[in-house]
Amino acid sequence: MPGIPVRRSERATFAALLGIVALLALVPIARLAQEALAPHGRLDLGVFGSVIESPAVWRAAGNTLTVSIGGAALAIVLGAGFALLVSLTDVRAKKPLVFCFMMPLLIAPQVTALAWINLLGPNSTLLRALGLAPAAGTTHPLYGPGGIALLLGIEQAPVVFLAVRAGLRSLPRDLVEAAQASGAGPWRIVRTIVLPLSGPSVAAGGMLAFVGSIGNFGIPAFLGIPAGFTVLVTLIYQRLAGFGTSVLSEVATLSLLLALIALGGLALNNWLARRHDVRVTAWSSATPQWPLGRLRALVEGGCWAALFVVLVLPFAALLATALVPAIGVSLTPSTATFANFHFVLFDYAATRRAFVNSASLAASAAVMLVIVSVPLGYSLAGRRASIRQGVAFVAELPYAVPGVVLAIAMILCLLRPLPLLGLSLYSTIWIILVAYLSRFMLLALRPVTNALRQIDPSLDEAARMSGARFARRVATVIMPMVAPSAVAGGMLVFLMAFNELTVSALLWSSGSETVGVVLFSLEQAGDGVSAAAVAVIAVIVTLAMMLLTNALASRAARGVLPWQP
């Protein structure tokens, strides 16, 4: 919507909304940078120096790069291949295929890790039933860098897929048609036209996958910590968990390093995206859909088989473990039991509390963010591009940096009682809520700004001409029109917050456990069956939310849901 002059009272509202964004996003990150570089109010690189001289840090940094590059490489192969297949060929059932392909991104990484642990380890209920389990006492085959990179790659493949598919969709159709007219066959066109032109989007997707892998906590925590394989994220977690807030300056420095690597990657990604500015011209249908002919059934079978291996098998293993009374017991009709589910849902106080905590944290964050994002997005729509981009950048910061970085920043901000109020949020559930509001703000704001961009500005002007002031316009004209998108954004926030582990792993305290935290503690304590039961419930909630959001998405603006842009 164009820049429209506003009343003075609206300026106050806008300033208040900007204040919220700044408090949630800018202040914590700035405080982190200050703690790392100038812990006592003046520039002091002492901590910084000691941190980067530590061999453990270098080892962890090297490990981080190894698994992240490996994960990104696998994600590129899987994601770009699947994008080409779905965009350029006539495989059937594309919607369910894409939906399933996107699932690993939305299922919590710690749940995925647990599922794979249960699938392949010596204690695998599934493999034992088949007589294929590795000998008892051997190390789990997934522990260590290889397993971490494999799961990171599977988790991040959808990110590459989305980037490459968007690139393929903006590929000017006439370039392909010109090649067809020159007599080139499909393979030659893919090799000589499509792939070279998709290069930037493949690179951009790979960069996003790399950044996502750097910040991932669940997978290296479950597969690295037992094997003594440390990455930067788990190093920060272990330092803080082991030594408490006395090492805050040190972990702040580590976090800043991690944030700089991630933001550097994102800057590179933005630069690549800008270079790849092939504008969509008169775009009728999608790219050509080449018939696969007799290969089609084979390719489709291969896709579904791969999804079966990646999705169904691990979660079948998870379910199998959740259904036996103890690790090591074979799953048979006589041993199968729902006792684990009953235990984690009703009997065990910590897990019961965790479900309530995660659900209420996720719901509160979703509702609060939707309520703020509609007026914020609306006031932003009328502003100069520089203000809009500035706010978008600030709102993206807490989402772009790895979760541990945000958690450390929150601890730094909220460790001491709040000024004026004298209240301390540290070691209460409120610090987790504040962190969630900060981290997921972007997920709520982006669908709203997208939807607002698709609304004819005269609809807003007609309300102004009718005499409606800001609050009334938001309530009666803007809100009803952006509601589907705003709600879809809110559900996305719920989904991500409910499954979240990285932030809460550092911020939880007794009584404020989240689902991710109890899953982690149960697995570390060796209670595999209870952990599996918690994970199964988390998967069911995730699936239900995805399907519900899907049903709503038909009414939302285009590009609201990550799995159907």
Question: Considering the rule CB under 8 A, would residue 131 count as an interface residue with another protein?
Answer: no
Tokens of 439: 């981290």
Closest by Cα among 488, 490, 493, 496 to 556: 488
For the bound state, the minimum distance from the C-beta of residue 407 to another protein, rounded and expressed in Å, comes to 41
355-363, 471-479, 496-504, 544-552 -> range binding another protein (CB under 8 A): 471-479
CB closer to another protein out of 128 and 473: 473
Q: What is the total count of residues that contact another protein (CB under 8 A)? A: 22
Segment holding 53, helix H or strand E = helix 46-53
Which of 481, 543, 548, 552 forms a contact with another protein (CB under 8 A)?
Answer: 481
Question: Considering the rule CB under 8 A, would residue 463 count as an interface residue with another protein?
Answer: yes
CA distances from 521 to 220, 407, 455 (A): 15, 18, 47
Q: What is the Cα–Cα distance from 370 to 352, expressed in whole angstroms? A: 27
6-35 binders of another protein (CB under 8 A): 6-7
Q: What is the Cα–Cα distance from 256 to 35, expressed in whole angstroms? A: 9
CB closer to another protein out of 8 and 42: 8
Give 531's contacts (C-beta < 8 A, 6+ positions apart).
114, 519, 522, 523
Question: Considering the rule CB under 8 A, would residue 454 count as an interface residue with another protein?
Answer: no
CB closer to another protein out of 50 and 454: 454
Which of 90, 174, 347, 461 forms a contact with another protein (CB under 8 A)?
Answer: 461
CB closer to another protein out of 15 and 136: 15
Question: Considering the rule CB under 8 A, would residue 4 count as an interface residue with another protein?
Answer: yes
For the bound state, the minimum distance from the C-beta of residue 190 to another protein, rounded and expressed in Å, comes to 42
Cα angle vertex 262, ends 168, 491, to 5°? 65
For the bound state, the minimum distance from the C-beta of residue 3 to another protein, rounded and expressed in Å, comes to 9
212-220, 247-255, 455-463, 521-529 -> range binding another protein (CB under 8 A): 455-463
For the bound state, the minimum distance from the C-beta of residue 480 to another protein, rounded and expressed in Å, comes to 4
| 8 Å CB contact between 196 and 111 | no
CA distances from 130 to 114, 125, 390 (A): 20, 9, 57
Question: Considering the rule CB under 8 A, would residue 469 count as an interface residue with another protein?
Answer: yes
Which of 464, 521, 548, 559 forms a contact with another protein (CB under 8 A)?
Answer: 464
Helix (H, G, I), strand (E, B) or coil at 290: strand
Which of 50, 330, 360, 476 forms a contact with another protein (CB under 8 A)?
Answer: 476
CA distances from 257 to 44, 57, 235, 408 (A): 16, 10, 13, 13
Q: What is the Cα–Cα distance from 357 to 500, expressed in whole angstroms? A: 12
For the bound state, the minimum distance from the C-beta of residue 367 to another protein, rounded and expressed in Å, comes to 21
Q: Where are the alpha helices (DSSP H) in 182-312?
A: 186-189, 195-215, 218-223, 232-243, 248-275, 295-307
Binding site for another protein (CB under 8 A): 2, 4-7, 456, 458-459, 461-469, 472, 476-477, 480-481
